[in-house]
Chains A and B, each alone.
Chain A
Amino acid sequence: MKKSNLTLDSNIFEGYHVLDKQFDEVYLQQNKSRPHYQSLIIDFARHSLEDFRELNEYARDSFYNQGITFNVYSDKSKGVERIFPFDLFPRVIPFQEWQMIEKGLLQRNQAINLFLYDLYHDQKILKDKIVPSELILSCAFFNKHMIGIDPPGGIYVHIAGTDLIRHSDGDYYILEDNVRCPSGVSYVLSNRETMKRTLPNLFLDHSVQSVQEYPEELLNIMHSVAPKQSGDNPTCVILTPGAYNSAYYEHSFLALWMGIQLVEGRDLFVDKNFVYMKTIYGPKKVDIIYRRIDDDFLDPQVFRPDSVLGIPGIMQAYREGNVSILNAPGTGAADDKAVYIYMPEIIKYYLNETPILKNVPTYRCELDADYKYVIENMDKLVIKPVDESGGYGVVIGPNSTKEELEKLKKVVASNRRKYIAQPVMNLSMHSTYIDEDGSFSPRHVDLRTFCLMGKNRHYVLKGGLTRVALKKGSLIVNSSQGGGSKDTWITSN
């Protein structure tokens, strides 16, 4: 049966308004859905809003009972647990469109790995003045202890969490390269699980690419970069800061799905430059560590001496090649938001290719001309610190008061290296069920992707985490600041 475009006035999407000058992922125009959403809209229209409210409730309970929560720190002894809000209406990306994204992500992350190898060895790209030396040498995440170290397979970034947005021109742009400890993948897998529990029939009608192989692929990537002497069955662990960390659910989830041990710094120690974990039978050698703690906390002998999360001596063990660390220390030099500006040149320099995915035009406040432009146009720009993540420190000019911008100008002037500015990118919109209104409304979305790179192998998770800014008009999608998420479907034709 041919499925026709559904009019909006006959179903749960009644009252949904496609906004002007915005790219709506679901609708081409008022009352007319995009072709790849048509059958999904017909399926959803079988439910009344009351049904949907109940389904939403069911999904929420499912997350709660599974303990899929993140911690919000409070003055009470135990952190407050919150559910990451989940919207049942999935985002759909057609397979052909996805293929382009996947190619672009692999290209970008391949170049980032070559760039990092170069930075910590010959620094040819600096000598050739493609990237300014002072930019790298002043980068807070450029790690001098990594100079001369050869990580297995030359891979520094094993897990990249590149953030993509779709602008109102319909094109995808890379917003950030998250190549330190990107999180969110557990929500991708849990969202899919909850979708299957809540609306199982949807999956019978649509051919959706699987996401559940991610943990196995990650384990394969870990094995591919094992130290030479670790043998056929290397011991892999995930290193977490502990149960009170906001991403602890993800750490334990990945360890469980990969069947490996989740350890804290206090479970590990270094002896004669080998890393061991303390088991009930005594010490057991550890070969590969997927660390989810920042560089600064890894080794109190080398980095922050007050770190109680890390393992004294681990950097020396790493230097000797006795343990592999994912991602390698020092990868933050590549996701500094000022270094981001040079990514198209970096791709061309190492791969001799044209970048597949676009960069958002970015102004480096450290450069005089850019700085002048930023100061004069701050009310039209988004200003970001180069070394923060999670949306922290981001100021959206058009949403700020004059006083706030004047204050910001002084802050930027006092440390120009620390700030970049970008035009306000109109993140695309997606129909989203809003609990308080009991109806669907357009909300801004982005896409966190997950790209794995190992020795002679790579993998891109099909889809990723579609994050939704639940607050009307908001562009901030981060979970810590009122964001939610959606299941992301890569569908075949």
Chain B
Amino acid sequence: MLSRIGNSLFWTGRYIERAEHIARFTRVQYLSSLDAPLAQKKHYILESILDMVGYQFNKLIDENKLSEEEVLFFVCLDPNNPNSVIASINYARENVRGARDTVSSEFWEILNKYYHEINGYSHEEFLSEGPFDFSEMIYRNSSIVKGCIDNTHIHNDPWAILSMGLHLERAVQITRILIAKLNDIRKIEKGTKAQAIINYQIGALLKSTESFDMSRKYFKTIPSLINALDFLMLNVEFPKSLSFNLTHASIYLNKINLGNPLDRTTPEFRLEKIANKFKYLSVEEIEKNALGLLEETLNELYGIGAMIEKKYLSF
């Protein structure tokens, strides 16, 4: 496989996953805010959403004079915002367009339909209806696209690179969501309503990562914050947990590496190391400094992404 194509597929996986997470996070935060206990004003919700996509709320609002609805539009449908959902899908489609001879026609056609649907989404409808229908459309398309990736390709190099990009991005997004929600919880002032607000934030965290149902089944109770962190960071069987995604990203990267020896400077070594770290961490260890650990993990994931690009995808 050409390095250029590898690069396109790696980023395709990343953008498809990124779009889905941003859309889901935005919707969950927005819907939760509608019946949130007191103090969870829209202002905080929007701040949290912008934090998740890498913008500083005050700076953006001051510079662009955006209304609340416009902030949601900016995050979801503004093609000029490189971190928006629509921009991610446009990038994904552009990358696959440059690799059409490598991917299946089915995958291309499904992604192309996704691209046309999001680009045909009405600005007015979005502003009047909010992000609900929009994000439904994103999940539906994202699920079909990912099903198509798995079911219409040979599970060899191109598929492994796409899948690796997808899992690496999911690990990044889950980490970002965890950081954003831990920051939200940290801001909660002590008082009689504090526990209710914390519970609300835990619910929003789990819904933002599609973990609400499965975590309750797993713990057979409504999860506490530490349960939620345990589930989302350490569970080895749940596809949205950090541990699961790091392990899978590592498996796919090793598939590309063809069993060549790994020294400490390779991305394979670094990815396997962090995957194993999460495999063997205990919940007590993360409880002490979850935020610090997550921030460290995020930096490490960015570093590994850059190493993968340098080793395999530069051309």
Contacts and interface: CB of A to CB of B under 8 A. Distances in A.
A199 B89 CA distance: 33
A266 to B, nearest CB: 7
Contacts of B312: 280
B282 interface: no
A266 B101 contact: no
A243 to B, nearest CB: 5
B254 to A, nearest CB: 14
A64 B108 CA distance: 12
Contacts of B5: 261
Given A65-B112, A263-B2, A280-B157, A256 B97 contact: no
A137 interface: no
A67 B315 contact: no
Contact of B256 (A78, A243, A280): A280
Interface in A239-265: 242-243, 248, 251-253, 255-256, 260-264
Chain B residues touching A, majority SS:
helix
B120 to A, nearest CB: 11
Given A67-B109, A243-B94, A261 B3 contact: no
Nearest to A66: B109
B21 to A, nearest CB: 24
A65 B116 CA distance: 8
Interface residues of B, number: 25
B157 A260 contact: no
B109 A252 contact: no
Interface in B78-116: 94, 97-98, 100-102, 105, 108-109, 112-113, 116
B207 interface: no
Contacts of A252: 97, 100-101
Contacts of B102: 261-262
A260 B101 contact: yes
A263 B258 CA distance: 23
Contacts of B315: 266-267, 278
Contacts of A277: 2
A280 B101 contact: no
Chain A residues touching B, majority SS:
mixed
A256 B116 CA distance: 22
A172 B116 CA distance: 42
Range class of the A interface residue count: 20 to 34
B111 to A, nearest CB: 9
A251 to B, nearest CB: 8
Contacts of A256: 100-101, 105
B4 interface: yes
B100 A280 contact: no
Given A64-B116, A243-B97, A252-B100, A280 B109 contact: no
Contacts of B4: 264, 266-267, 278
Contacts of B258: 281
Interface in B106-138: 108-109, 112-113, 116
A279 B109 contact: no
A280 B3 contact: yes
A78 B86 CA distance: 15
B6 interface: yes
Nearest to B10: A280
B313 interface: yes
A66 B105 contact: yes
B313 A255 contact: no
Nearest to B313: A280
Given A67-B108, A280-B6, A243 B98 contact: yes
A261 B8 CA distance: 14
Contacts of B38: none
A262 B258 CA distance: 24
Contacts of B3: 267, 278-280
B2 A261 contact: yes
B2 A267 contact: yes
B34 interface: no
Contacts of A255: 100-101
5 contacts: A66-B108, A252-B97, A261-B5, A266-B4, A279-B1
Interface of B: 1-6, 94, 97-98, 100-102, 105, 108-109, 112-113, 116, 157, 161, 256, 258, 312-313, 315
Given A67-B108, A264-B4, 10 more contacts: A65-B113, A65-B116, A238-B101, A243-B97, A248-B97, A256-B101, A260-B101, A261-B102, A278-B2, A278-B4
